Structures are given as C-alpha cells and as structure tokens.
C-alpha cells in the first residue's frame, strides 16, 4: 500500500470516528426548537374580586413553584411566568390573551377562572393555535360543544362536582332540590348537570331562581327557596356568592337541625375557611384535591402554605400539576410548538400529588379520581385547616361523564 493511500484511509477513518463522536454532542449543543428562545407561561385569573381566594395570586405562586422545581429552564431554555387580572370581564380577558399570544409570545395560559373567561380565552387560544390549560373553570362546554384541540380542562368540571354530590345526598333521602343559580356559564352548567343527576335517581326539582354575579344581597332568593319546602337548597354559584348564601341562610334560620340542607355544588376549601366550621359543618361536597389527604399532598401543601399563609385550593394544586405536566411535555418533544406538545401531554399519564393515573382524553378533559368529603365540626377538627373528612374516593371512570357521551367534535364516535 502506498504511503499516500494509507494516509488517505487513515484520514477518512479519523473523520468518520470524529463524526460518530461529534454527532451526539452537536445534537445536545443545538438549541431546543423554541419559538423565541423562552417558554412563557401566562396565569390569567381573578386577582381582586370574588374568586381571588380560589385562584388569584395563589395560582401565580403555584405556577412559579412548578417552574422553580423544574429548574427554571427546559432543554436549556429559560421559563418565565407572567400574570394578569382579567377583572372577571370576558372582553378584558380576551384582549389580554390576544396581546400575550401576538406580542408577548406566551405559549400557554393557565387558571382561567371563571367559566365565562375560560370560554372566551379558549376561543382566542384556538384561533392563535396556543394552549389553554383551564384549572379554575368548571363549565362542561369547554370539553363538549366548545371543545378545542388546544384546550385542556385539568382540575374538575361541573359534572364531577354536581353529579357526585347529588348522588351522595339523595342516597340519604334528600331528593327534592331548589336551585339558586348564578346567571352566567358556570351556574347554567352546574344546574344542568345536577338536574340530570337528580332525574337519574327520580329526584325532583322544586324550583329555581337566578341571581346576578357577585350579589350583595341574596336574602330574597333564599326566602323563595325556603318557601318551596325543598329538602335541599342547591347553590349553583361560586366564591363569595356561595359564602354569602350560606351565611344568610344561617342568619335567617333557614338551615339547621330538622330544616333544609344546603348543597354547595361548587365549593373550595377557601370557602370553608371564610365560613368557619361552625357554619359549614356537616356539608357534603365533592373536590378534586384535599391538602391533608396523604403524605405527598401534605408535603406540597406545606410548601405552598409557607409562601402564602393559606392552604391550597384544588385550583392552586391543579395549576402546579398542569404547569409541571406541560414543561415535561416540552422537554420530551424539544419544542414549544402547540400541536406537538399537546399530543405529548395527551399521551402521557399524570402521576403526582394532585392526580394518580390522570389522563387527558381526546376531548381535552383530564380525568382523575375525585373525593366526596364531609365538612368537620369544630370539635372534630384537630388542627388549623383540618376541615374535611374524606368519605369516598370516586374513581376517575365514575367521577366524570363517560367519553362516549361527549359532544366534542374531536371524539371519534
């Protein structure tokens, strides 16, 4: 072999060997396929009004906790959390969302309570091909007639809240209900789902009344409910409206031993804290999360408490979990492109302190176990925020409306 030929073979071999070793390192050195060199998460919530305890600043803190726990970066790209107050106005929320998507390169929007805001922002996200993860709103329209390939309803929906509470209360003979319903999307959805559940167990609707959002005085509505002689006054509202209704019913002597019962169809631990156990004791409700359920939930909740001075609602816990699930999908796929990330999110189960074996269905609903709880008496409560006795774990396949009944166009029949 000539010296030239041997040298050429040696050089070629060296190049092949160098390429073999260089390729993995070059691939790792390449920047992730991000749209603008940052993954940006926007928390759009009620910061100052009747739902601020349910979501609000707590949702922003929960999102930032998830980012910090993830390491602040995904595939070497920084992750940033921004937030805004939509003032419970759909036009304000939609305007903020458009600006975030068009001008601030927000990749995913979180929280989105209440339901009217969630529906408005989900439509904007669909048009802009960006992801909306709803952890705060309950209307089932989000995953039925108004479903979108870019929307996830993560924490709960009105079906899981209302139908499971109806089933539990009617088992003990409370089968006639009067609905006090807030006049917007959430109230309509709660009343509809609870009514259907009542019909399945041969229950009766004794009457119904609608009230405006953030009502200062609910006394006239409650007196109508009392006059109906229904066994249960069902509160198809949320936040301060729910708290005010329960306080007013107690002050007027409408509720109590041997009197009408209150069913809170959309209650959170923040509501119980505002009411106090003396007023709320004995109530049965459905929840997606309770901070004192197990070691994992307690550990995370104590961290949240250290930052906020309050135990987390299911919205706060769901926001942390969903941000983490989103970032894991970005890490797996190496991109923040919405369709790719959403596909990965739907393919991957959720297993954390919030949900074990959770799964995002084709219609965008994340199904997971729910919990039927009873509010403890002051005597039974042994420590601060010790509010719930867990009566039943409701399996995911029972807690949520079956996929076969979905009205979502994304579901193959």
Under DSSP, is residue 72 helix (H, G, I), strand (E, B) or coil? coil
Under DSSP, is residue 19 helix (H, G, I), strand (E, B) or coil? helix
Phi, psi dihedrals of residue 84, rounded to the nearest 5°: -155, 155
The C-alpha atoms of residue 83 and residue 44 are separated, in whole angstroms, by 6
What does CATH list as the number for 159-287? 3.40.50.2300
Domain 39-156+293-369 and domain 159-287, same fold? Reply is yes
pLDDT in tens, the chain (413 residues): 444 334 433 343 443 333 333 333 233 333 346 768 999 999 999 999 999 999 999 999 999 999 999 999 999 999 999 999 999 999 999 999 999 999 999 999 999 999 999 999 999 999 999 999 999 999 999 999 999 999 999 999 999 999 999 999 999 899 999 999 999 999 999 999 999 999 999 999 999 999 999 998 999 999 999 999 999 999 999 999 999 999 999 999 999 889 999 999 999 999 999 999 999 999 999 999 999 999 999 999 999 999 999 999 999 999 999 999 999 999 999 999 999 999 999 999 999 999 999 999 999 999 999 999 999 999 999 999 999 999 999 999 999 999 999 999 999 86
**Number of other CB atoms surrounding residue 216 within 10 Å:** 7
Q: How much is the pLDDT for 257?
A: 87
Burial of residue 69 (number of CB atoms within 10 Å: 0-12, 13-18, 19+): middle
pTM over 0.85: yes
Check if CATH label 3.20.20.140 holds for domain 39-156+293-369.
no
Contacts (Cβ under 8 Å, ≥6 apart) of 360: 152, 154, 345, 346, 350, 366
Q: How much is the pLDDT for 412?
A: 85
Run of H or E including 12:
helix 3-29
- What ranges do the domains of the chain cover? 39-156+293-369, 159-287
What is the sign of the dihedral through the CA atoms of 397, 398, 399 and 402?
Answer: positive
Q: How much is the pLDDT for 36?
A: 83
Q: How much is the pLDDT for 216?
A: 86
**Number of other CB atoms surrounding residue 71 within 10 Å:** 10
Q: How much is the pLDDT for 8?
A: 39
Q: How much is the pLDDT for 413?
A: 65
Phi, psi dihedrals of residue 392, rounded to the nearest 5°: -160, 140
Question: Is-contact 94 127, C-beta < 8 A?
Answer: no
Q: How much is the pLDDT for 322?
A: 98
Q: How much is the pLDDT for 251?
A: 93
Q: Which ranges constitute the DSSP H helices of 178-280?
A: 185-200, 219-228, 239-251, 269-275, 277-280
């Amino acid at each position: 072999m000539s010296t030239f030929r041997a040298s050429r073979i040696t050089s070629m071999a060296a190049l092949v060997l160098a390429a073999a070793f260089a390729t993995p390192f070059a691939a790792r050195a390449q920047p992730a396929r991000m749209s603008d060199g940052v993954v940006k998460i926007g928390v759009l919530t009620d910061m100052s009004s009747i739902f601020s305890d349910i979501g609000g600043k707590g949702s922003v803190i929960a999102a930032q906790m998830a980012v910090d726990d993830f390491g602040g970066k995904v595939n070497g790209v920084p992750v940033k959390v921004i937030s805004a107050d939509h003032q419970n106005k759909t036009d304000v929320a939609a305007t903020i969302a458009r600006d975030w998507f068009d001008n601030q390169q927000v990749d995913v929007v979180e929280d989105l309570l209440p339901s009217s805001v969630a529906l408005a922002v989900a439509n904007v996200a669909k048009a802009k091909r960006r992801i909306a993860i709803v952890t705060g709103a309950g209307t089932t329209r989000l995953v039925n007639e108004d479903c979108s390939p870019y929307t996830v309803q993560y924490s709960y929906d009105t079906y899981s809240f209302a139908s499971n509470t109806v089933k539990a209360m009617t088992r003990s003979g409370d089968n006639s209900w009067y609905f006090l319903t807030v006049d917007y999307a959430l109230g309509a959805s709660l009343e509809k789902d609870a009514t259907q559940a009542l019909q399945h167990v041969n229950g009766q609707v004794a009457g119904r009344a609608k009230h405006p959002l953030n009502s200062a005085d609910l006394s006239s509505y409650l007196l109508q409910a009392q006059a109906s002689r229904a066994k249960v006054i069902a509160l198809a509202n949320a936040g301060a409206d729910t708290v005010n209704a329960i306080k007013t019913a107690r002050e007027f002597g409408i509720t109590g031993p041997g009197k009408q019962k209150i069913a809170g169809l959309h209650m959170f631990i923040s509501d119980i804290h505002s009411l106090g156990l003396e007023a709320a004791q004995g109530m049965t409700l459905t929840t997606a999360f309770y901070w004192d359920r197990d070691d994992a939930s307690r550990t995370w909740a104590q961290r949240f408490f250290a930052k906020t001075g309050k135990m987390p609602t299911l919205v706060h816990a769901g926001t942390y979990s969903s941000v983490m699930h989103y970032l894991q999908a970005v890490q797996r796929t190496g991109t923040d492109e919405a369709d790719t990330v959403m596909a990965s999110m739907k393919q991957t189960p959720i297993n954390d302190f919030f949900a074990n074996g959770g799964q995002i269905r084709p219609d965008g609903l994340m199904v997971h176990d729910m919990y039927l709880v009873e509010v403890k008496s002051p005597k039974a409560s042994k420590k601060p925020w010790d509010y719930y006795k867990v009566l039943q774990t409701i399996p995911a396949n029972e807690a949520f409306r079956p996929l076969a009944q979905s009205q979502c166009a994304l579901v193959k029949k």
